[in-house]
Amino acid sequence: MKTILRLSILVFVAGLLAMTAAKPTRVIFFGDSITQAGVNPGGYIDRLKKTMPADQYELIGAGIGGNKIYDLFLRMDEDVLAKQPDVVVIWVGVNDVWHKATSGTGTDPDKFIKFYNAVVKKLQAANIKVVLCTPAAIGEKTDMTNQQDGDLNQYSKFIRDIAQTQNLPLVDLRKAFLDYDLKNNPENKDRGVLTTDRVHLNDAGNQFVADQMQKVLMVSK
Question: Which residues does residue 171 pair with via DSSP β-bridges, in sequence order?
Answer: 133
Q: Does 144 bind a copy of itself (CB under 8 A)?
A: yes
Q: Pick the closer one to a copy of itself by CB: 49 or 100.
A: 100
Inter-axis angle of helices 149-166 and 94-102, to 10 degrees? Answer: 150
Q: How far is the CB of 158 from a copy of itself (least distance, A)?
A: 10
CB 209 within 8 Å of CB 136: yes
Region from 16-24, 39-47, 56-64, 96-104 binding a copy of itself, contact rule CB under 8 A: 96-104
Q: Phi/psi at 71 (nearest 5 deg)?
A: -70, -40
Q: Shortest gap between Cβ of 131 and a copy of itself (angstroms)? A: 23
What's the CA gap between 28 and 41, in Å, rounded?
17
Residues 97-126 that bind a copy of itself (CB under 8 A): 99-108, 111, 114-115, 118
Minimum separation from the CB atom of position 15 to a copy of itself (A): 30
Draw the binding track, 38-67, toward a copy of itself (x: CB under 8 A; -: no contact).
Answer: ------------------------------
Give the Cα separation of 182 and 141 in Å (integer). Answer: 9
Q: How many positions of this chain bind a copy of itself (CB under 8 A)?
A: 31
Name which of 51 and 188 has its Cβ closer to a copy of itself.
Answer: 188
In the complex, minimum distance from the CB of residue 198 to a copy of itself, in angstroms, rounded to a whole number: 12
**Dist CA 146 CA 218 (whole Å):** 33
Ranges within 148-187 binding a copy of itself (CB under 8 A): 148-154, 157
Rule CB under 8 A: say whether 145 interacts with a copy of itself. Answer: yes
Q: Closest by alpha carbon to 69, among 22, 134, 113, 123?
A: 113
Kindly compute the dihedral angle of the four CA atoms of residues 81, 18, 60, 121, in this order, to the nearest 10 degrees.
30
* CA-based nearest residue to 93, from 106, 81, 103: 106
- Residues near a copy of itself (CB under 8 A) are 70-71, 74, 99-108, 111, 114-115, 118, 139, 143-154, 157
